[in-house]
């Protein structure tokens, strides 16, 4: 029977406690949200929502075509200019998602004969970029600049090192300055995904590369998503103008994809302007993450010290993690739940995300619920 193997896979997943289900949320959910990625609380900010609506009225519901045909509006250009300027890069290129931006950055910068040195903890979109690229991928130990140095030193020809700036599972930061140094020494490019750093780390939320120093260097390329701190949708690649020109001409997820919807571009631009006006939002989300970690640790839970907004709490098993998250939900708290295959080390976790707009009382309530529902 066609697709018969799907049933076998579904049964294996069920037995391993790894079945995933969709849970559509109502607009007025009563749950306290520590699962979403709206780090700065901007997704529903009136200025952001109004900018999305205005952009849709002005430009339409969709971009109408790929960026190279009809899908580039003046709004996209404005967003690219402001995003690059804010993060300290010469140029930026907006994509329909952060996923597409990562596929573009890795595939377009790793031609035949090149080496890609990829951190073992990288996000799935960087991994998929490596899988699609023509170059050869060498996976190295997590957050290990020496391993990167060694791999680059053993290769003759074009090379890039690829890493998240903040890893999505445990919320730990990459050793960016050391990685940039290793790449420079070997004439390699550094490609980093700042999905969890933009809006959270660096001066006023300018991102991890800005904080660590390599932002704007001619051998550094950064990808971001517009869907977390900026409360919108879409992604971007930031870097030297010649790299961005290369993306326009060579990145297949740019060339063969409809441009980002104007509403999303408008919302992201409005959020960026709010962040520039209210830089304290970045400091606040970091403080909330630290407070969550401190309170969870004091309650005897195995929480990982956060370098940005993601706070990870170890769970005993995939089934235990699912039950824990479900019990939290029943008690009014929405938390993320990471299980294999989303976790490279096989350890299941609750994944909490700090938000700049969480009150002290909400933090206390969240910690109390997580402690009381602990398996």
Q: In this chain, which stretch among 192-200, 333-341, 344-352, 367-375 interacts with ligand PLP, using CB under 6 A?
A: 192-200
Nearest approach, Cβ of residue 89 and ligand PLP (Å): 18
Of 370, 93, 365, 344, residue with least CA distance to 243: 93
Q: Which two tokens stand for residue 111?
A: 């031609």
Q: Which two tokens stand for residue 102?
A: 């990562």
Q: Is the dihedral of CA 102, 177, 343, 4 positive or negative?
A: positive
Q: In this chain, which stretch among 135-143, 188-196, 270-278, 318-326 interacts with ligand PLP, using CB under 6 A?
A: 188-196
Contact between residue 188 and residue 145 where contact means Cβ atoms under 8 Å apart: no
Residue 338 makes CB contacts below 8 A (sequence gap 6+) with 169, 312, 321, 348, 349, 350, 351
Q: How far apart are the first and last CA of the chain?
A: 41
Phi, psi at residue 249, to the nearest 5°?
A: -95, -20
Asked whether position 67 contacts ligand PLP by CB under 6 A, the answer is no
Structure-token match 């080496």, residue found: 115
Nearest approach, Cβ of residue 124 and ligand PLP (Å): 8
DSSP letter assigned to residue 204: G
Q: Which two tokens stand for residue 317?
A: 């098993």
Q: In this chain, which stretch among 13-21, 155-163, 190-198, 241-249 interacts with ligand PLP, using CB under 6 A?
A: 190-198
Among 48, 162, 195, 265, binds ligand PLP (CB under 6 A): 195
Q: In this chain, which stretch among 94-102, 104-112, 206-214, 286-294 interacts with ligand PLP, using CB under 6 A?
A: 94-102
Among 193, 222, 266, 284, binds ligand PLP (CB under 6 A): 193
Residue 120 or 299 with smaller CB distance to ligand PLP: 120
Residues 98-157 binding ligand PLP (CB under 6 A) are 98-99, 102, 123, 125
CB count in 10 Å sphere of residue 70: 12
Nearest approach, Cβ of residue 227 and ligand PLP (Å): 4
Among 73, 114, 138, 168, binds ligand PLP (CB under 6 A): 168
The DSSP code sequence of 28-84 is: T--SEEESS--TTS-TT-HHHHHHHHHHHHHH-SS--SBTTTT---HHHHHHHHHHH
Q: Give the integer Cα–Cα distance in Å for 20 and 321.
A: 13
Residue 308 or 356 with smaller CB distance to ligand PLP: 308
Nearest approach, Cβ of residue 167 and ligand PLP (Å): 8
Contact letters (x/-) for ligand PLP, 221-260, by CB under 6 A? ----x-x-------x-------------------------
Considering CB under 6 A, how many residues would be counted as binding ligand PLP? Answer: 14
Nearest approach, Cβ of residue 80 and ligand PLP (Å): 16
Nearest approach, Cβ of residue 143 and ligand PLP (Å): 14
CB count in 10 Å sphere of residue 31: 15
Interface residue list for ligand PLP (CB under 6 A): 97-99, 102, 123, 125, 164, 168, 193, 195-196, 225, 227, 235
């Amino acid at each position: 029977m066609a697709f018969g193997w799907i049933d076998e896979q579904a049964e294996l997943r069920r037995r391993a406690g790894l079945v995933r289900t969709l849970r559509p949320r109502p607009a007025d959910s009563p749950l306290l949200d520590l699962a979403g990625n709206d780090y700065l609380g901007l997704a529903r900010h009136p200025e952001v929502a109004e900018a999305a609506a205005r952009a849709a009225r002005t430009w339409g519901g969709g971009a109408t075509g790929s960026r190279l045909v009809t899908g580039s509006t003046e709004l996209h250009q404005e967003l690219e200019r402001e995003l690059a300027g804010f993060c300290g890069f010469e140029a930026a290129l907006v994509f329909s998602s952060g996923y597409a931006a990562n596929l573009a950055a890795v595939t377009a910068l790793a031609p035949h004969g090149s080496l890609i040195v990829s951190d073992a903890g990288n996000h799935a979109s960087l991994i998929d970029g490596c899988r699609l690229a023509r170059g050869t991928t060498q996976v190295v130990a997590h957050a290990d600049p020496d391993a990167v140095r060694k791999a680059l030193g053993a290769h003759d020809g074009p090379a890039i090192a690829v890493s998240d700036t903040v890893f999505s599972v445990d919320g730990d930061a990459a050793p960016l300055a050391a990685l940039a140094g290793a790449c420079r020494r070997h004439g390699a490019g550094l490609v980093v995904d700042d999905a969890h750093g933009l809006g959270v780390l660096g001066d006023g939320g300018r991102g991890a590369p800005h904080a660590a120093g390599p932002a704007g260097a001619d051998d550094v390329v950064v990808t971001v998503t517009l869907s977390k701190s900026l409360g919108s949708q879409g992604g971007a690649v930031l870097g030297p103008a010649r790299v961005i020109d290369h993306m326009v001409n060579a990145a297949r997820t740019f060339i063969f994809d409809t441009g980002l919807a104007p509403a999303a571009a408008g919302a992201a631009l409005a959020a960026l302007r709010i962040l520039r006006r209210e830089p304290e939002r970045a400091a606040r989300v970091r403080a909330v993450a630290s407070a969550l970690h401190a309170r969870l640790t004091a309650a005897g839970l195995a929480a990982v010290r956060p370098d940005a907004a993601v706070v990870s709490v170890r769970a005993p098993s995939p089934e235990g993690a699912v039950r824990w998250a479900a019990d939290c939900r029943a008690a009014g708290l929405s938390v993320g739940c990471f299980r294999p295959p989303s976790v490279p080390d096989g350890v299941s976790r609750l994944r909490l995300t700090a938000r700049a707009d969480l009150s002290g009382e909400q933090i206390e309530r969240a910690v109390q619920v997580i402690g009381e529902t602990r398996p």
